[in-house]
């Protein structure tokens, strides 16, 4: 099979959000801390009517209906998530309810977990399945997303919620460039969820930022090595691969300011590899002695490289931040909402033949920079996503009510023999919701 990759995408995010300007006032922090400091406008959230199973049910069923695909045509489905509500039973098996009428129980794939990275691993698995002798000719679904909630405090405004469903198969308009993949993984306690009775992670915020930036460095260098090995790199850089070889670059976005920092790291790498590039003339030799290792906590350098990368950031990355700014972190969903935003904001005609890089980061840590080549029309994907309109058509909730709903989730997390109190009337038609958790913790769902 040729051009294996993403054929279609659907997203789901909750209809309710809290405005970050309002949240700044409510939290009594300085104006601009969340909107400029983190680069966030709105944060989506859900009450106790939704859980990881329900949001995945919603996105898969909506995807299948919208794209008129029969469940019997699916031979693989896997889920990337870190929103764990059961230590043994996967969300994938819950999604098998949707296959019942088709009689198709022959569906490979299961859940994959490591912070925000699970969906990337699931996508690689699905593409590799189609590329392998194990492929049986059917299509694959990759479901990737999370409910991102932090304890109240500095990290809370960096929450969010969203999930994507992607159809994987041959002859795709977004073709995965198989050999071009830069991966970096190491042991790190920057963000983890050791308390299994709580929905909240334990976060070392400053360490998570350094770890993200370091992972950008390592994955990017490895990716460039692959570019040099497998492709003819863009002229003008002394045969060295650089950002010039990547037309668009989508990042995992915990909050969009971090993406600007990640992009600045990419620029700094290019500077280290080729300081003579005219792009860097304005910097003089101020940072000539800095190495990748010494520079990770250098704020002056970070600011200088955010500034010097501004034009490239606007051209290659900014369009991908539409959903991230307006929804917040979606952990496993984030990088694919970035891709969906890019397809929404850049016309298909402009994307033809272009390379789209994706940087995926999961704390702990696991990261990959990889890419797609646009080999077909992306307009239909964008039209069906209808992202801009759906982002506008939402309900703004006051911070006080948001806090009450977060408290409700906290108090009812892991509850047994429980009927959720959340308001079903706020959900859009087609949304699944948690009806009940019975005395044996079995969950049942309804659909609006």
Interface with ligand ACO in residues 69-128 (CB under 6 A):
116
CA separation for the pair 100, 297 (Å, rounded): 53
Known binding residue 257? Answer is yes
Residue 158 is a binding residue for ligand ACO (CB under 6 A): yes
Binding to ligand ACO (CB under 6 A) within 257-296 occurs at 257-258
Is 65 part of the annotated catalytic residue set?
A: no
> Would you call 413 a catalytic residue per the annotation?
no
DSSP notation for 254-316: SSHHHHHHHHHHHHHHHHHH-TTSGGGGGGTTTTTT--TTTTTT-HHHHHHHHHHTHHHHHHH
* The only residue of 1, 25, 36, 288 in contact with ligand ACO, by rule CB under 6 A: 36
CA distances (Å), origin 255, targets 5, 110, 209, 349, 377: 27, 28, 11, 29, 30
Consult the annotation and say whether 400 binds a ligand.
no
37 near ligand ACO (CB under 6 A): yes
203 belongs to the binding site for ligand ACO (CB under 6 A): yes
Annotated catalytic residue within 10, 24, 78, 82: 82
Indicate which residue of 161, 199, 252, 365 is catalytic: 252
Give the DSSP H/E element, type plus range, for residue 160. strand 160-169
Stretch of 14-22, 26-34, 86-94, 369-377 lying at the interface with ligand ACO (CB under 6 A): 26-34
Selection from 43, 50, 16, 80 nearest residue 324 by Cα: 43
The span of 1-9, 14-22, 32-40, 236-244 binding ligand ACO (CB under 6 A) equals 32-40
User: Which residue carries 């790498």 as its tokens?
Assistant: 269
By CB under 6 A, tell whether 398 contacts ligand ACO.
no
Measured CA distances, 294 to 270, 282, 307, 391 (Å) = 16, 21, 20, 41
Looking at 9-17, 33-41, 313-321, 385-393, which segment touches ligand ACO (CB under 6 A)? Answer: 33-41
Q: Find tokens 């994706």 and name the residue.
A: 358
- The DSSP H or E segment spanning 214 is helix 205-230
Q: Is 252 a catalytic residue?
A: yes
Smallest distance from ligand ACO to CB 431, Å? 26
Token pair recorded at residue 417:
């023999």
Minimum separation from the CB atom of position 285 to ligand ACO (A) = 24
Q: Is 351 in the site for ligand ACO (CB under 6 A)?
A: no
- Residues in contact with ligand ACO, total (CB under 6 A)? 20
Pattern 419-448, binding to ligand ACO, x per CB under 6 A? ------------------------------
Q: How wide is the angle at C-alpha 94 spanned by C-alphas 92 and 95, nearest 5°?
A: 65
Is 208 annotated for ligand binding?
yes
Give CB contacts under 8 A, 24+ apart, made by 395-401: 395/15, 395/16, 395/17, 395/426, 396/16, 396/17, 396/18, 396/19, 396/42, 397/16, 397/17, 397/18, 397/45, 398/18, 398/22, 398/26, 399/18, 399/22, 399/23, 399/25, 399/26, 399/27, 400/26
Does residue 137 belong to the site contacting ligand ACO (CB under 6 A)?
A: no
The least CB distance from residue 273 to ligand ACO, in Å, is 25
Tell me which residues in 182-201 interact with ligand ACO (CB under 6 A). Answer: 191
Query: Which residues participate in the annotated binding site for CoA?
Result: 208, 257, 261
Q: Which positions lie near ligand ACO, rule CB under 6 A?
A: 30-33, 36-37, 116, 154-155, 158, 191, 203, 205, 208-209, 212, 254, 257-258, 363
Tell me the catalytic residues: 82, 116, 252
Query: Which residues participate in the annotated binding site?
Result: 208, 257, 261
């Amino acid at each position: 099979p040729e051009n294996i990759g993403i054929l279609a995408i659907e997203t789901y995010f909750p209809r309710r959000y809290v405005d970050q300007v309002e949240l700044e006032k409510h939290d009594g922090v300085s104006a601009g801390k969340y909107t400029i400091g983190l680069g966030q406008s709105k944060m989506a959230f859900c009450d106790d009517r939704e859980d990881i199973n329900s949001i995945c049910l919603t996105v898969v069923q909506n995807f299948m209906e919208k794209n008129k695909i029969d469940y019997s045509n699916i031979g693989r489905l896997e889920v990337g998530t870190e929103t764990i509500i059961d230590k043994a039973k996967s969300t994938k098996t819950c999604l098998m309810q949707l296959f019942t009428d088709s009689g198709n129980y022959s569906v490979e794939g299961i859940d994959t977990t490591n912070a925000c990275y699970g969906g990337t691993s699931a996508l690689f698995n699905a593409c590799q399945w189609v590329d392998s002798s194990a492929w049986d000719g059917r299509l694959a679904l990759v479901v990737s997303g999370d409910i991102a909630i932090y304890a109240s405090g500095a990290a809370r405004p960096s929450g969010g919620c969203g999930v994507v469903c992607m159809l994987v198969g041959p002859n795709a308009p977004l073709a995965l460039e198989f050999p071009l993949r830069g991966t970096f993984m190491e042991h790190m306690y920057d963000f983890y969820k050791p308390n299994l009775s709580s929905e909240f992670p334990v976060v070392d915020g400053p360490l998570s930022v350094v770890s993200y930036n370091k992972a950008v460095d390592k994955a990017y260098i490895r990716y460039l090595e692959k570019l040099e090995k497998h492709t003819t790199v863009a002229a003008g850089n002394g045969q060295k691969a650089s950002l010039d070889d990547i037309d668009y670059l989508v990042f995992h976005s915990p909050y969009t300011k971090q993406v600007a920092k990640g992009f600045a790291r990419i620029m700094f790498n290019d500077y280290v590899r080729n300081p003579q590039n005219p792009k860097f003339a304005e910097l003089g030799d101020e940072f000539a002695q800095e190495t990748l290792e010494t520079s990770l906590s250098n704020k002056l350098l970070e600011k200088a490289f955010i500034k010097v990368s501004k034009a490239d950031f606007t051209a290659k990355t900014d369009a991908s931040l539409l959903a991230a700014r307006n929804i917040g972190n979606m952990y496993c969903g984030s990088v694919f909402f970035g891709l969906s935003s890019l397809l929404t904001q850049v016309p298909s005609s402009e994307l033809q033949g272009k390379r789209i890089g994706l940087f995926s980061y999961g704390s702990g840590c696991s990261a990959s920079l990889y890419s797609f080549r646009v080999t077909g029309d992306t307009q239909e994907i964008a039209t069906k996503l209808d992202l801009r309109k759906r982002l506008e058509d939402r309900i703004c909730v006051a911070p006080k009510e948001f806090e009450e709903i977060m408290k409700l989730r906290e108090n009812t997390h892991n509850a047994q023999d429980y009927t959720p109190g959340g308001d079903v009337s706020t959900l859009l038609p087609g949304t699944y919701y948690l009806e009940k958790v019975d005395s044996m913790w079995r969950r049942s769902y309804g659909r609006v």
